Amino acid sequence: MENMQARDLYSFYGKSPVILGVSFDLDPGEFLAVLGRNGVGKTTLLKSIMGLTDRCEGGLAFGSQDILGLSTPQRSKLGIAYIPQGREVIPQFTVRENILMGTFARPDGKRDIPDYLFEMFPILDEFISRRGGDLSGGQQQQLAIARALAMDPKILILDEPTEGIQPNIVKQIEDAIVRLNRERGLGIILVEQNVPFARTASDRFLVLDKGRVVLSGKSEDLTDDVVEKHLTF
């Protein structure tokens, strides 16, 4: 398993830097929560890892490889799975096609959909022929996670996976994320607004403000004082 390492990472949209010198480490199988108020660069940080911003500077390594010079598809083929905010399943594709799309990032070229996806999210099996765009928000989120898992990733990057989702499915999704980390050993980087969940699920956290890391540490240190100071408006 590989670790991920960011060193003094800058990321730009056009000429404006949005991420200003962020560093973090993600050990194999570790769970990192990225916290912060709206508009501080959390989503941009995740996009920078995938190479979706206009330009990046600094260092970003996955395993022994520097990945800043790699294209987005090349990064995905290293085993980095990204589940964006708003899920972004392909609306005209069926559930099966959406999951199959995940396998396109497999470096071995296999096109098998692992069975455990359907044990984890039985609703996807039931709706296998429905179009992605016809599912509810929660079902789409489950589909987006299944799509990411179909590539047999080494780390999962999730951007507010429970945002705007009906409460009964939120729990399912949170449990699934924890299980993937604990049972399947997947490294996880999670952007989350729900601090109690981040505290119980993650090993470590970092708090972003205005594109910089203002605080980081072990998740048990994520006390109410910290939340009060950095995360409330």
Partner 1 sequence: MDVIANQLFAGLSMASIMLMIALGLAIIYGAMGVINLAHGEFVMLGAYATWALQTYAGLGILPALPLVFVAVGAVGWVIEKVVVQNLYHRPLDTILATWGIGIILQQAVRLGVGAESRFVKGPELLSGNTEIGPLIMSNYRLFVIFFSIAVLWGSWLLMTRTEFGMKLRAIIQNRSISECYGIESKRVYSITFAYGAGLAGIAGALITPLFSTIPTMGTGLVVDAFLVVIVGGLGSLIGAATASVLIGEATALFSMIMNDTLGRIAVLAGIILLIRFRPRGLFPTETRR
Which residues are near partner 1 by CB under 8 A? 50, 52, 71-73, 76-77, 81-82, 84, 88, 90-93, 97, 100-102, 104-106, 147, 151
Q: Are 71 and 51 in contact, with CB atoms under 8 Å apart?
A: yes
Quote the least distance from Cβ 77 to partner 1, whole Å: 5
- Residue (10 or 93) nearer to partner 1, CB: 93
DSSP alpha helices (H): ranges in 54-106? 72-77, 95-103
- Residue (148 or 208) nearer to partner 1, CB: 148
CB proximity list for 76: less than 8 A, separation 6 or greater: 50, 82, 105, 151
Q: Where are the beta strands (DSSP E) in 36-111?
A: 55-62, 65-66, 80-83
- Residue (61 or 90) nearer to partner 1, CB: 90
- The Cα–Cα gap between 214 and 15 comes to 23
Quote the least distance from Cβ 71 to partner 1, whole Å: 7
The total of other beta-carbon atoms located within 10 Å of residue 107's CB is 11
- Residue (128 or 227) nearer to partner 1, CB: 128
Quote the least distance from Cβ 82 to partner 1, whole Å: 5
- Residue (46 or 169) nearer to partner 1, CB: 46
Quote the least distance from Cβ 92 to partner 1, whole Å: 6
Minimal CA–CA distance to 3: which of 31, 26, 32, 34? Answer: 26
Quote the least distance from Cβ 219 to partner 1, whole Å: 27
